[in-house]
Amino acid sequence: MNQRNEQFYMVNKFLKYRNEQIKYIWSAIGFVILLSLLSNAVVTVFVQQAWAIMWGSLVAVLLVSAGGFSKLLPLLDQEKEYTGQIFYNPQSQKILTLRDYWFNDRIKEYTESILAEDKTLARTWKKSSLNAPYTTNCFKILEQAADFYLLTSLANVLQDFFDDESNNHTRKIKQYKRQDFLPALGNNVFFNLFTKSMGRRKAFKTGVESDLSKGRKIYSAWASNGAYYEYFYLPVPENTIVNLKNNDSNILITIKTPQLELKIRRQFFISKSYAPLDMFWYSNSIEDDRYPDIEAADFNIKIQVKFNKWRSLFSRKIDDYKWVDQLNMDLEKHLDFDAFEAKIKHKRYEYLFKRISTLEKNLKKELHEIKISNKKDRHVHY
């Protein structure tokens, strides 16, 4: 089974089992009540025996249901881990452009955008280094870019789910906005700048005034100089607790809804890992600068989901797992380097096959020309 559908499968299996057991329990309770009423009206040995049998049946149904729930409930909880990589050339201090690896390219876009707008940060980047000891300002900037990616990925999933009326027509929604996260993320240059109002940024002084003056809501925008803006907010159900803890080594996001608790922990490994050999060929085939050396920094995300067991048993509708499942799918799609590496190898094989085919054609052509030349030489008269 596809790993990214595992959560969806287990929750649906649990809900199907739960609904079936509820029907059995209510049926047994109904029969017990009916026989209780009959036993009060007509006291017979038959009714008393049937009453005892039905009570026994109800107890049996409850025990069987409890046994099934005790096996299925722990399977609802899950832990998953994803690792993404940022590829760069330490000599030129450039991040590679990899068309087929979304996470790396997003970090590159964020970094180039903020360096284009914040000249002070651009000078810091230029004076710093992407070499050892891997605690330089360059790596700190990459770390903050990866954090911003994680936050916006979570926000996009929540927005797509809770802003859709078909998903929350019976639930009241509250929004956590930029100012709610500034105490924890104020030091993140990407969050602090990219989510700042466009009216307060020089890079957006032209091109957006008309939209802003007309009251139009702009959710994201790119300026002509490369500056980026994103309207940041987290829509969640009412009575949801959102907590964010941030320190130098990791970030922890906790979202506790009435149905489940989600914890997202990230770690940025400030250590060098060498890119696979195929990456050297791939980078040279798509980059004009032709990087001689390629290294990678690792970005690790751990997700832990725990369901509210009481709510899972008795709530009429459990749907928060849908946006959690979507978040898992997005992270797996964007950070899965193994899938990207497989694409690289496939493209390299295609390239080599084309090269061999071209060489074969050229060789046949040269042999044919040599053959014709030899025939002409035979008819030369002295």
Diameter over CA atoms, the chain: 135
pLDDT tens digits, one per residue of 339-361: 777 666 656 656 666 667 777 77
Q: What is the pLDDT of residue 287?
A: 47
Angle at which helices 320-335 and 102-117 pack, to 10 degrees? 80
pLDDT tens digits, one per residue of 173-191: 888 888 988 888 878 899 9
pTM comes to 0.72
Residue from 255, 265, 262 nearest 301 by CA: 265
Predicted confidence (pLDDT) at residue 140 exceeds the cutoff of 80: yes
Q: What is the pLDDT of residue 191?
A: 92
Task: Give the DSSP letter string of 146-207.
Answer: HHHHHHHHHHHHHHHHHTSHHHHTTS-EEEEEHHHHHHHHTT-HHHHHHTS-GGG-GGGSSS
